[in-house]
Amino acid sequence: MFAFILRRLLQAVIVMLTVAFIAFMLFQYVGDPVTNLLGQDATPQQRQQLRADLGLDQPFPVQFAHFIGNAVQGEFGLSIRQGRKVSALIVERFPATLELAGTAAVLAMGLGVLAGVYAALRRGSVLAQSMMALSLLGVSLPSFVIGILLILMFAVTLNWFPSFGRGDVVTLGAWTTGLLTSDGWRHLVLPAVTLAVPQLTLIMRLVRSEMLEVLRADYIKFARARGLTNRAVHFGHALKNTLVPVITIMGLRLGALLAFAIITETVFQWPGMGLLFIQAVQFTDIPVMAAYLCLIALMFVTINLVVDLLYFAVDPRLRIERTGAAH
Amino acid sequence: MNMAAVRRFFDGDVWYSFRASRLAQGAAVVAFACVFCALFAEWIAPHDPFNLATLDLADARLPPAWFEGGKSLYLLGTDDQGRDILSALFYGARISLFVGLASVLLSVLLGVGLGLLSGFIGGRIDALIMRVCDVMLSFPAILVALLIDGVGRALFPNAHDTLAFAVLILAISLTGWVQYARTVRGSTMVERSKEYVQAARVIGVAPLRIMRRHVLPNVLGPVLVLATIQVAEAILIEATLSFLGVGVPPTSPSLGTLIRIGNDLLFSGDLWITVCPSVMLIAIALSVNLLGDWMRDALNPRLR
């Protein structure tokens, strides 16, 4: 157990260091900061002086260590395009992405589990069958096409929801939220649905197949034989056992939500981190790219780590097997 | 491919299962039609969308021919620069298919090579390759492709068209190889302990030659199925990156680029500029996916 956690932590650290190294290499090899700062016609002495001031004449490992030290404190320098501190930009954009991804996660998980349970319990019904057929479409449609179709239908044709930006936001300290105004909620609907649909279909299909599997188990038959009500069997016994693998997958899908938020934010011009990153890629804004690279890697590594450890906590069988194999 | 092999194929189970499955036939027809249009775009497209001399701005943003104001000259209408949508679709599908196939080919080469090495040699090399696979798999493919593409574009900021294509294909294939590596590694480890491999070892065949001539043909079956499905995945990733504006160079628009162009005009009511390439993209991805699903079932003897 302990050895496993240690190994898992070590792996996480190695991944983070690799990503940080890639980000560092970006700084090193894309563009020359000295030329950027002094211009083309500086004297060699000036250049030499600035190199020393910036620490660029120091050996490679020392520079990398400096970079790591700054990165840990969230310092990635100034954005080339906007001329502001990258950390400030990210702090400003972070709430938008988190609110979008959070709403989408709640939507996907809530509706996904409900629909999955329904599809499993009423397997033959028309509604369940049409839900399965629709979910197949949801899996094969690329995410940005879903967004465009929603805009076409609900923003352009029906004019129910806006399709652009966050709407009115309320500022609470460093946090700006759109969740406190009705306009903010109206702006949130289409992007959140776009982001949720692919995950929703996945979760629904997963819950359905797991539930069908569990319903065949002996303890379900036994529970029925004891004369328990359908409700108690389905929700007390079956659903509970279904949810263990589902929770793991959901944890991993949280990461996918963050990744797909990039696409959704571009379609809806949602002022979050994903849009920031895409614009940084288009304008080769290295500090922003490097910061986003490190931040997203950190989130993923953390999510994966937590899910792996949760798995241990939830399923005692795994604990025995894995530790047995480790020794 | 001689006659006997052809006859054996038509007598075989795979062809039989294809003839029995309506869905597979439909998917094959759609996929074939798309590939045909893409391959012979020069000959069957009614216009050359990239020839500036034939573009007429007076014909910009015409609706499809069956709507009011449409011209029969432009069957699916025109975009904001007066380019014929139907022709742009054919040329765009060619670029999408090219990027999809090229990146799958590259990732098959990479994945199968590393998988063989990993499964056949084992030990530290195996552990290293599999750790890298674990890490890659914990990130969504689209994110990895986007990051590699972003880094690639940053490294070559003034990339001309060929280089931009190379970066894109490399980015997509670097996300895809993991699947092949894992599959091939698994079946290689099974094959390695079989008698024909041991026999080859006993008579002194070099390890590399055993891998290439003896093990490789026996582990390629699942790779074929995986590659088919991955073509659809690769095309979707390419479309997404191009839609985000970081994919193919704008001078050679793929389906994703066309959707991006249309997306900017969505609110003016010119829906067809977005809808047509979206439908084409979905048709390609769905038909290739269905073909892959069918192939997996047909080639898997356990399911029969």
A interface with B, Cβ–Cβ < 8 A, is 11, 15, 22, 26, 29-30, 140-145, 148-149, 151-152, 156, 252, 255-256, 259-260, 262-263, 266-267, 277-278, 280-282, 284, 286, 289, 293, 296, 300, 304
CA A244 to chain centre: 21
- With CA atoms as reference, the chain B residue closest to A256 would be B140
| pLDDT, tens digit, 9 for 90 and up, residues B12-21 | 777 777 777 7
What gap in Å lies between CA B91 and CA A59, rounded to an integer?
A: 51
Q: Could you tell me the CA-to-CA distances from B67 to B79, B209, B258 in Å, in that order?
A: 15, 63, 21
Contact A281 B143 (CB under 8 A): no
Least confident of A99-113, B4-18, B141-155, B169-183: B4-18
- Segments in A60-217 forming alpha helices (H): 60-72, 86-121, 126-140, 143-150, 182-215
Most B-contacting residue of A29, A144, A149 (CB-CB within 10 A), to test interface = A144
Q: Are A86 and A78 in contact (CB under 8 A)?
A: yes
pLDDT band at B247 (very low <50, low <70, confident <90, very high): confident
Regarding an ipTM greater than 0.90, the answer is no
Q: Could you tell me the CA-to-CA distances from A96 to A13, A255, A270, A290, B128 in Å, in that order?
A: 28, 16, 8, 20, 38
Q: Is the pLDDT of residue A99 over 50?
A: yes
Partners of B276 on chain A (C-beta within 8 Å) are none
The mean pLDDT value of chain B amounts to: 81
What gap in Å lies between CA A247 and CA A235, rounded to an integer?
A: 16
| pLDDT, tens digit, 9 for 90 and up, residues B255-290 | 888 888 888 777 776 777 788 888 888 888 888 888
Partners of B157 on chain A (C-beta within 8 Å) are 30, 284
What gap in Å lies between CA B158 and CA B156, rounded to an integer?
A: 6
What was the pLDDT predicted at A134? 78
User: What is the SS3 assignment for A175?
Assistant: strand
- Using a pLDDT cut of 70, give the percent of chain B over it: 84
Q: Which of A256, A281, A255, A278 is nearest to A266 (CA)?
A: A278
The token duo for B171 is 């980015």
Most A-contacting residue of B233, B238, B243 (CB-CB within 10 A), to test interface = B243
Cα first-last separation, chain B? 27
| pLDDT, tens digit, 9 for 90 and up, residues B195-215 | 888 888 889 888 888 888 888
The token duo for B254 is 């793929």
What gap in Å lies between CA A184 and CA B86, rounded to an integer?
A: 39
Which residues have C-beta within 8 Å of that of residue A269, sequence separation ≥ 6? Answer: A164, A165, A275
- Average pLDDT, stretch A302-307? 82
Contact B244 A278 (CB under 8 A): yes
Partners of A255 on chain B (C-beta within 8 Å) are 138-140
B289 touches A at CB < 8 Å: yes
Contact B157 A151 (CB under 8 A): no
Contact A284 B154 (CB under 8 A): yes
Q: Is the pLDDT of residue A149 over 80?
A: yes
pLDDT band at A297 (very low <50, low <70, confident <90, very high): confident
Q: Is the pLDDT of residue A325 over 60?
A: no
Most A-contacting residue of B132, B151, B167 (CB-CB within 10 A), to test interface = B151
| pLDDT, tens digit, 9 for 90 and up, residues A15-37 | 888 888 888 887 776 656 666 66
